[in-house]
Amino acid sequence: MFHSSSETSTYLRSFLAITLLCSLTFLGGCGEKPEGDSSTANGSDEEIVIAVLPKLVNIDYFDACEKGAKKAADDLGIKLVYDGPQQPSGVEQNKFIETWTRQGVDAICIAPNQPKSIKRFVNQAQDRGIKIITWDSDASESGRSYMVNQVNDEVLGHMLIDDLAEQMGGSGKWAIAIASLDAANLNTWRKFAEEHAKAKYPELELIDTVVTQEDAETARQLVQSLINANPDLKGIVAFDSNSVPGAAEAIKRAGKVGEIALVGNSTPKSMKPYIKEGVLKSFYLWNPQELGDLTVRVAHALIQGKEIKEGTELEGYGPVHLHPNDPTTIIMSDPIRFTAENIDEYDFGI
């Protein structure tokens, strides 16, 4: 039947399929449209539009940030655009900055994957009067106005090592589990942690680093082998929310609970069972929803021409704190130390 059709009907069918494809595209878009929002980003003169660019979308951490940012946007009565690449790629992020520059948003908040590559795009946007701040990880050379940092990177790196050293009794072999060797802020923390360990605890010996490729299952397998290959391993520092549960599972399955100390940054929801079982004593995080919230509020204040200093009151947030040595970096809070006692008090949604 297919083969006998005449040329005209082939074209007709092609046309129908294209139309279908495009109307699907259109309907798909319209179906997702939120109610009561009729103005588009490009046309509006009155409404303030703040664009927030995470490192990548569709992961729990940045989803929690989005929820916080939305709350702030509703509170302030502004329009929020929260979108980003599907892979943690600097090149893709720059494309988003270009698109938003063309659309003429009022501010862009960037969590850069490749901090040094955004400079030209930031300058382009600033030339058109768009305010730029960074959040989550910094790009200090790009000319951004402010940086909203969740924690003081140095403080976090030191806290992790101090905690580990205390649990290990100040000496022994330790290893690192990290998602990727060149991810911007993981790497900053890793560097501070290694330096601190060398300087303050000379009896701690770093024996290996495993790269877990943002996957809890890979992390488990690698740490399992690491434990097996080094029977005298006493501690593990894991820097991301996939490595910590993976490492915890590996310690549990190797039957070395209590023998190997584990500290790291992870989300309360995924760590709750392990911390209740005592596989690890503590881990660290900050409130990602608060980070999204603060980022939007800082951008809003900047658009309104406010100057941000130590202790400046932000509408609906409270006073902000700056980095002791850098007046353009806002530090959200100290990292929260989660333990079996306090884990039930926090609900970040992740």
Helices (H), 104-242: 119-127, 153-168, 184-200, 216-229
Using CA atoms, how far apart are residues 321 and 334, in angstroms rounded to an integer? 11
**Token pair 């209740």: residue:** 276
> Taking CB under 8 A as the rule, does residue 193 contact another protein?
no
16 to 7, 10, 12, 20, 29: CA distances (angstroms): 14, 10, 6, 6, 20
- CA dihedral for 164, 231, 194, 135, sign (positive or negative): negative
Q: Provide the 8-state DSSP code for 91.
A: H
H or E segment at 329? strand 329-331
The gap from C-alpha 142 to its chain's centroid, in whole angstroms, comes to: 19
CB of 128 to another protein, least distance (A): 11
Decide whether 318 or 346 has the Cβ nearer to another protein.
346
Considering only residues 95 to 134 of the shown chain, the ones binding another protein according to CB under 8 A are 95-96, 98-100, 102-105, 114-117, 119-120
What is the Cα–Cα distance from 12 to 20, expressed in whole angstroms?
12
Specify the residue, 149 or 218, whose C-beta has the smaller distance to another protein: 218
Is residue 234 within 8 A of residue 175, CB to CB? The reply is no
Is 10 a binder of another protein (CB under 8 A)?
yes
Nearest-approach distance from CB 144 to another protein, in angstroms? 15
Q: Which of 181, 144, 159, 154 is nearest to 302 (CA)?
A: 144
- Is residue 22 near another protein by the rule CB under 8 A? yes
Alpha-carbon distance of 49 to 289, in angstroms, equals 20
Asked if residue 5 binds another protein (CB under 8 A), the reply is yes
Neighbours of 15 (CB within 10 A): 10
Give the up-direction half-sphere exposure of residue 342: CA atoms within 13 A in the CB hemisphere: 10
> What character string, x for contact with another protein (CB under 8 A) and - otherwise, covers 57-76?
xxxx--xx--x---------
* Alpha-carbon gap, residue 84 to 58, rounded angstroms: 9
Whole-number minimum distance, CB 319 to another protein, in Å? 30
**Options 78-86, 126-134, 166-174, 257-265: segment touching another protein (CB under 8 A):** 78-86
Q: Based on the shown chain and the rule CB under 8 A, indicate whether residue 28 belongs to the binding site for another protein.
A: yes
Q: Which residue has the tokens 């070395």?
A: 256
Determine which residue in the list 46, 127, 182, 345 makes contact with another protein, applying CB under 8 A. 182
| Residue 93, CA atoms < 13 Å, CB-side half-sphere | 27
Nearer to another protein, 272 or 306 (CB): 272
Which residues face 260 on adjacent strands? 257
Find the binder of another protein among 68, 84, 264, 292 (CB under 8 A): 84
CB of 336 to another protein, least distance (A): 18
Residue with tokens 């862009």: 108
Q: How far apart are CA 318 and CA 294, in angstroms?
A: 10
Query: Which CB sits closer to another protein, 162 or 254?
Result: 254
303 is an interface residue for another protein by CB under 8 A: no
Interacting positions 36-55 with another protein (CB under 8 A): 40-43, 49, 51
Asked if residue 94 binds another protein (CB under 8 A), the reply is yes
From the list 19-27, 156-164, 315-323, 327-335, the region that binds another protein by CB under 8 A is 19-27
Select 195 or 215, whichever has its Cβ closest to another protein. 215
Return the number of the residue (208 or 326) whose C-beta is nearest another protein: 208
How many binding residues for another protein (CB under 8 A)?
A: 94
The window from 20-28, 192-200, 304-312, 338-346 that contacts another protein (CB under 8 A) reads: 20-28
Q: With binding defined as CB under 8 A, does residue 187 bind another protein?
A: yes
Site for another protein in 129-168 (CB under 8 A): none
Residues 237-276 that bind another protein (CB under 8 A): 245-246, 249, 254, 269-270, 272-273
